[in-house]
Amino acid sequence: MQVLGIDIGGSATKGAIVDTETGLLVSERIRIANKTIQEPVAIVKSINKIRKELNYEGPIGAGFPGVVKRGQIFTSANLHKDWIGKNLENMIRDKTGQPAVVLNDADAAGLAEMRFGAAELRQYDYVMFLTIGTGIGTALFVEGKLWPNSELGHMELKGKDAETRASAAIKTREKLTWKQWALRFNNLLLMYEALFNPEIFVIGGGISADFGKYSKYFTTEAPVVAAKLQNLAGIVGAAMAAHEKYPQG
């Protein structure tokens, strides 16, 4: 089934139509930059614009960077605070006329990677997926099942919210070298390893494309690998979630 997947981020809203049987994009990927911290109405308008440009009608899946329960937004660290309390599924449906499913963005990306990423991931019982961008998103899998809304990028690291020390946005903002950034991020991985003992870490987001430039600085006992789907995982996972809820379109 071909389903529209949307990835809402701190810097942009992205979307494409996904073949949910293969995990491949079957349309162009459209990116609408967020020039300011976006209010809910602006993001929903961008989602509808993507839908129209792709000439799409059918269920829409969207990943949101925060805690999401039954379509309602509970946290919004990198977007407008007006998001809190809004039901994004209802907003998308009202704006587009199409049914919608909304889930945490890292959960969406992790689900896609577990299904369509490296086959070796399915050999592990305890997997920790991280997507690195404006913030740090996490998804935990126990025997293939997701623990939703883990949001461990907001754990304290050396007195500050972890993503304010080790996200991709911080690397850019502070002009860190790969080594400088990787050493910071390694401290975060070591903390996660001590607390959760995953068997493998998977690094996703746009920064995963440069994995070879920084992976040598990681010192965890668990192996650390780059996500196969890289920055497309969020779109693919959101489309998967919509297909699962609305399998007939």
DSSP string computed for 15-62: EEEEETTTTEE-SPPEEEE-SSPPPHHHHHHHHHHHHHHTT--S-EEE
Domain CATH for 155: 3.30.420.40
Residue 231 confidence (pLDDT) above 80: yes
Whether residue 145 sits in one domain with residue 66: no
Location of structure tokens 């995963």: 208
Q: Do 27 and 77 lie in a common domain? A: yes
Least Cα distance to 230 among 143, 152, 129 occurs for: 129
Residues 69-116 have pLDDT tens digits of 999 999 998 889 999 999 999 999 999 999 999 999 999 999 999 999
189 and 236 belong to one structural domain: no
- Indicate if 222 and 131 belong to the same structural domain: yes
pTM greater than the 0.75 cutoff: yes
Cβ(154)–Cβ(162) under 8 Å? yes
- Is residue 111 in some structural domain? no
Output the six-digit token pair for 71: 């379509």
**Residue 75 token pair:** 């946290």
**Integer Cα distance of 193 and 208 in angstroms:** 20
**Domain shared by 129 and 70, yes or no:** no
User: Could you tell me the pLDDT band of residue 34, with boundaries at 50, 70 and 90?
Assistant: confident
> In this structure, are 126 and 171 located in the same domain?
yes
Domain of 145, in residue numbers:
118-227
- Cβ burial, residue 202 (10 Å; 0-12/13-18/19+): buried
What is the mean predicted confidence (pLDDT) over 157-186?
93
pLDDT score, position 249: 64
Measured CA to CA in angstroms, residue 117 lies from 122, 127, 137 at distances of 9, 13, 18
**Stretch 16-29: mean pLDDT, rounded?**
97
Q: Residues 182-209: pLDDT tens digits?
A: 999 999 999 999 999 999 999 999 899 9
